[in-house]
Structure 1
Amino acid sequence: SSSSSVKQSSSSSNDVQSSSSKQNPWGTDAEWWPFSCNAHGGCLEFTDKRNGRTYKYLKFDGKDTSGKNATIYAMVENLNVGDMVRGFKNQNDDSKIERYCYDNDTLNCHYYGGLYQWAEMMQLPSECNQKDCRGQYDTITYHHRGICPDGWRLLTYNDFYIIVNSNGNQDGVKGTRSTFGFGGSNDTGFSLVGAGMRITPMGGGGFKELNETAYWFYPTENSYKDYATADDGYMGKDEKYMNKNVLYKETGASVRCVLDE
């Protein structure tokens, strides 16, 4: 079963107000949302009761890391839930879900989804961003819900492997990337976008690589040179390979969810 949440779900509104005159670079909402669905027979939809936001998701049939046939249902857009905090702050309020919006602009959250620190994504106490919490919390499992809606769980490396190796994908990782400014063919319909990252406080708490790179945490920890890190995936718009690395937990990265079956 899904792990229990430490923090309470956010009831923040699904705002789209912008702090700038920035516009969606790929056109209107009507053009933006359906692009992954028209080529794949239409998407399924799910509404998050916490803020009324509707997400599109698809069925993926493919091979897992062991070579076995596997089926998952995964969102084809990044999660966007929580109250926005500015980039120079950590997500330290354990009573609610917090998010970063690229350049502190809520319009970027509307199109690219929120950016979340590792402990925020996991819904573990924020102190886990500064230390290794393995062994302290036995809720870190394959079916870890984190900030995903009820009935969903966080994307794992095995899930992403299934998506890359799903039926009909002829382009490897290129088939997971959006055709809208992110150098992909989107054969899978997974529709990765270059949402960039929120830089750690050591880097000033700013933002970088919008439309250049997608970053996401996996629900696993990693110990690297005594720094607080977690396993992550990343994808540049010209990337040719699946990447798994370690990322500072205080970085802000995108979140995708998978139906917990």
Structure 2
Amino acid sequence: MSAKNVSSSSKKGDAGKTSSSSAKTSSSSLSSSQKIASSSSVKTVSSSSVALSSSSKQSSSSKKVKSSSSSLRLSSANLSSSSKKVESSSSEYVPFDHSRTLAGDYEVGEDAYHQFTDPRNGRSYYYIKITSSKTGKSVTVMAENLNIGEMILGADNQNDDTKIERYCYNNDTTKCDEFGGLYQWAEVMQLPSRCNTESCSDLIQPNHQGVCPDGWRLFTWNDYLVVRGYKDDFNDGVKGLRSTYGFLGTNQSGFSLTGAGRRTAAGKFLDLEGGFFWFFPEEFENNEDAKAYIGLVGSYSDSGPGRNNRDKKTLGLSVRCTKLE
């Protein structure tokens, strides 16, 4: 299903064989303290477009970009980075333990989580089976964000079709291991990079694998409906999809969303801990503006993504995968 031919040995930015708390990488850790706005972090907008904006303070290399009139406002607070083992001048960096983001056994049941290893880079991921109490349908989904590829700077587009490229929040690889990589739509889909600026609807396949490992496919709108239909004994709604780890959730579903933030089309990084954003493997039908459908969950919002939410394919968003069954 992938239009890109990528071998695991060609990804210079991957850590080689690593676990979820893996390889030694040289990187400077960035952290900052920002205020999360107390107002609702997600506003549902008309079906014409979805733009994302934030008041987050970013690195001096990022340009300031005015938000569009149809914006979803999410403010963020940077979390101290932790992830791949990194040597600093003062201490050895401790790998991030992804079990910290998961739900407890008392919420989802004993042994609800399992792990698999992506053979492309040796990284392991937690996953969970979620059943909708409304429809009885089940999906097996990753409980972590995908993290694979060579890191490139946020100022650049992911244009090298010979390998998988990723953004790491604030250009910091430790953020990638903690929150996963951020990917433009064509990279998510593993289609030619030209698909970020033109229609490639004829290349989208059923059960589109994209950047997911073999045996897995990209998370769809129908998958979201199943996950959102989890047994909700406490009326937590979307809050039950969010992890208790820095994302103001209860994680009753076990889905364990974390506030990974996003890379804007202008190359800025925003909304760490303020929002979780992902592309669906679908183009917006009226695609003269090169947009794709997106999902988003905000840290303070009780609302989930709207079916018609869409934005530019050149954003950098997170990836979740669904197991083929």
Aligned position for 1:228: 290
Match of 1:72 among 134, 139, 149: 139
SS of 1:238's equivalent? coil
Aligned position for 1:19: 28
Letter in 2 for 1:240: D
Q: Which has the higher strand share?
A: 1
Aligned position for 1:58: 128
In structure 1, distance between residues paired with 2:182 and 2:8: 15
For the 8 Å contact 1:10–1:97, the answer to whether it is kept is no
Shift in Å, 1:132: 1.2
After superposition, the C-alpha distances for 1:170-217 in whole angstroms (9 at most, x for unaligned) are 4111100011111111001111111111111xx2x1111111011100
SS of 1:54's equivalent? strand
After superposition, the C-alpha distances for 1:64-92 in whole angstroms (9 at most, x for unaligned) are xxx63211110000000000000011000
For the 8 Å contact 1:60–1:167, the answer to whether it is kept is no
Aligned position for 1:45: 115
User: 1:196 aligned to 2:261?
Assistant: yes
Output aligned runs, 1:169-180, within 5 Å: 170=234, 171-180=236-245
Match of 1:88 among 155, 161, 184: 155
Q: Provide closer, same or farther for how the CA distance between residues 25 and 81 of structure 1 changes in structure 2, counting only shifts above 3 A.
A: closer
User: 1:155 aligned to 2:219?
Assistant: yes
For the 8 Å contact 1:16–1:107, the answer to whether it is kept is no
Letter in 2 for 1:38: G
In structure 2, distance between residues paired with 1:56 and 1:25: 18
Q: Provide closer, same or farther for how the CA distance between residues 219 and 30 of structure 1 changes in structure 2, counting only shifts above 3 A.
A: closer
User: 1:141 aligned to 2:238?
Assistant: no
Shift in Å, 1:241: 1.6
Shift in Å, 1:145: 0.4
For the 8 Å contact 2:30–2:170, the answer to whether it is kept is no
Aligned position for 1:213: 275
For the 8 Å contact 1:5–1:145, the answer to whether it is kept is no
After superposition, the C-alpha distances for 1:91-112 in whole angstroms (9 at most, x for unaligned) are 0000000000000000000100
Q: What is the RMSD of the two structures over their aligned residues, measured on CA atoms?
A: 2.1
SS of 1:215's equivalent? strand
Shift in Å, 1:19: 1.8
Aligned position for 1:8: 6
In structure 1, distance between residues paired with 2:287 and 2:30: 42
Aligned position for 2:67: none
Q: Provide closer, same or farther for how the CA distance between residues 131 and 191 of structure 1 changes in structure 2, counting only shifts above 3 A.
A: same
Shift in Å, 1:5: 4.2
Residue-pair matches, total: 249
Identical columns (%): 44
For the 8 Å contact 2:148–2:181, the answer to whether it is kept is yes
Shift in Å, 1:37: 4.7
SS of 2:290's equivalent? strand
Shift in Å, 1:21: 5.5
After superposition, the C-alpha distances for 1:32-53 in whole angstroms (9 at most, x for unaligned) are 4244153332310000000000
Letter in 1 for 2:169: Y
Q: Provide closer, same or farther for how the CA distance between residues 154 and 95 of structure 1 changes in structure 2, counting only shifts above 3 A.
A: same
Shift in Å, 1:25: 7.5
Return the index of the structure with the highest Cα Rg: 2
Aligned position for 1:239: 301
In structure 2, distance between residues paired with 1:222 and 1:212: 25
Shift in Å, 1:168: 4.7
In structure 2, distance between residues paired with 1:121 and 1:169: 34
SS of 2:284's equivalent? strand
For the 8 Å contact 1:214–1:254, the answer to whether it is kept is yes
Q: Provide closer, same or farther for how the CA distance between residues 86 and 92 of structure 1 changes in structure 2, counting only shifts above 3 A.
A: same
For the 8 Å contact 1:164–1:173, the answer to whether it is kept is yes
SS of 1:226's equivalent? helix
Q: Provide closer, same or farther for how the CA distance between residues 97 and 169 of structure 1 changes in structure 2, counting only shifts above 3 A.
A: farther
Q: Provide closer, same or farther for how the CA distance between residues 34 and 21 of structure 1 changes in structure 2, counting only shifts above 3 A.
A: closer
User: 1:123 aligned to 2:190?
Assistant: yes
